[in-house]
Amino acid sequence: MSQRIAICPGSYDPVTLGHVDVIRRAAAMFDEVVVAVVRRPKHKEPLIPVDDRVALLGESLADVPNVSVEPFADLVVDFAQRRGACALVKGLRAVSDFEWEFQMQHLNKHLAPDIETVYLASSNPYSFVSSSGIREIAAFGGDIGGLVPPCVVRWFVENPQSRTL
């Protein structure tokens, strides 16, 4: 029997505890999960360099043996096909997330009919947490502890230049 590989794509700028929760839950459902970090999202300029985002995710998920983290710079379905994935896993916090993801699912299905999209609803404690919200809180020196992994808190402390929006 072949392995079931899932891709969890995103910008992870920064990774939040909501992201970590979804990835851990996906790891319980699939044999292998590849967290795919988009190098340069088309819709925004990332605050955190891609190598740092990959490292922060790696540290946050180091205890999950069937999860790996890789950057990518092409269509997510092309990346998924190269990795032999059968699914894309996406977390949903609110109806507004679903509207965007629903459109993307149809486009991805057109490009790669063999790859399914699996949606995982956000766990209650993380339903309000977004990377953009974290960036804004951090920019004003607010406490992001309890919303992001400790390594992300440390990254913002060690990179005070990131406190500009």
**Which of 7-11, 32-36, 126-130 shows the lowest mean pLDDT across its residues?**
126-130
**Separation of alpha carbons 53 and 131, rounded Å:** 12
Q: Which CATH class is domain 5-160?
A: alpha beta
The candidate with the shortest Cα–Cα distance to 47, out of 146, 123, 145, 134, is 134
**Separation of alpha carbons 64 and 5, rounded Å:** 15
Q: pLDDT tens-digit profile of 76-120?
A: 999 999 999 999 999 998 877 888 899 999 999 999 999 999 999
The candidate with the shortest Cα–Cα distance to 56, out of 158, 143, 126, is 158
Tokens of 46: 């990332």
Q: Is the pLDDT of residue 162 over 80?
A: no
Domain locations in the chain as residue ranges: 5-160
33-42 average pLDDT score? 90
The three-state secondary structure class of 59 is helix
Residues known to be catalytic: 19, 44, 93, 131
Task: Kindly state the helix (H) or strand (E) to which residue 118 belongs, with its residue range.
Answer: strand 116-121
pTM score of the predicted model: 0.94
**16 CB-near residues (< 8 Å, 6+ apart):** 126, 129, 130, 131, 134, 147, 148, 152
DSSP of 64-87? -TTEEEEEE-S-HHHHHHHTT-SE
